[in-house]
């Protein structure tokens, strides 16, 4: 009997986190990008683009820009679930400190798609299991190969080109 209860709880957990959550949390699935972004954000994109000689340098510059004011987190991801539903790009850009993975990825996706290096077709959103939670990272097509970018896992020591998964 205990086996059935445990199996039911695990199934419920998996359905909530991996089926329902991506459907109700904004930016967990690929949505259309905003047509207008703040001028200061566009200026930052343009500056990073001028400084970058390669697509990798551009990704690294975007990563540095976004992580200079925001970072991911482990436990705080669930504690600040209220922040997960924000859809205003200006508010996301103004936020300092903790930011959910899907928000970091949304801002990164805007930066990449607004550059000369990438189009939105070169960007895929991927989901994985991380520390009993749903986690999103980005894959970017660079020179025909898919390159993992996981900004929210930077604080865990996950370098560009890799993504966090399972237990970290």
Res 48 pLDDT > 80: yes
Cα distance between residue 60 and residue 49, in whole Å: 11
Say if 151 falls within a structural domain: yes
Report if residue 168 sits inside a domain: no
Name residue, tokens 């200079």: 68
Q: Is residue 161 part of a domain?
A: no
User: Has residue 97 been placed in a domain?
Assistant: yes
**Would you say residue 165 lies in a domain?**
no
Residue range of the domain that includes 120:
2-28+38-156
Q: How many domains does the chain have?
A: 1
Tokens of 50: 């001028």
What percent of the chain has pLDDT above 70?
Answer: 94
Give the CATH number, domain containing residue 69. 3.10.620
User: When comparing pLDDT for 41 and 3, which is higher?
Assistant: 41
pLDDT band at 128 (very low <50, low <70, confident <90, very high): confident
pLDDT of residue 166: 59
Name the pTM for this structure: 0.87
Six token digits for residue 72: 């991911």
Residue pair 135/47 in contact (Cβ under 8 Å)? The answer is no
Report if residue 164 sits inside a domain: no
- Torsion angle of C-alpha atoms 155, 157, 161, 167, degrees rounded to 10: -90
61 located within any domain? yes
In this prediction, residue 73 carries a pLDDT of: 76
With respect to residue 166, please indicate whether it lies within any of the assigned structural domains.
no
Q: How confident is the model at residue 168 (pLDDT cuts 50, 70, 90)?
A: very low
| Residue 99: φ, ψ to 5° | -145, 135
Instruction: Categorize the per-residue pLDDT at 116 as very low, low, confident or very high, splitting at 50, 70 and 90.
Output: very high
């Amino acid at each position: 009997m205990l086996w059935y209860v445990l199996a039911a709880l695990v199934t419920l957990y998996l359905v909530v986190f991996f089926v329902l959550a991506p459907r109700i949390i904004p930016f967990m699935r690929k949505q259309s990008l905003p047509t207008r972004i703040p001028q200061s954000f566009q200026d930052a994109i343009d500056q990073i683009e001028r400084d970058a000689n390669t697509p990798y340098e551009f990704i690294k510059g975007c990563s540095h820009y976004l992580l200079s004011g925001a970072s991911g987190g482990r436990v705080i991801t669930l504690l600040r679930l209220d922040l997960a539903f924000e859809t205003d790009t200006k508010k996301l850009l103004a936020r300092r400190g903790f930011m959910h993975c899907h928000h970091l990825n949304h801002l990164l996706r805007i930066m990449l798609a607004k550059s000369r290096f990438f189009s939105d077709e070169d960007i895929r959103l991927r989901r994985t299991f991380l520390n009993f939670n749903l986690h999103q990272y980005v894959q970017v097509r660079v020179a025909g190969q898919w390159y993992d970018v996981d900004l929210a896992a930077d604080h865990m020591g996950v370098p560009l080109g890799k993504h966090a998964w399972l237990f970290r």
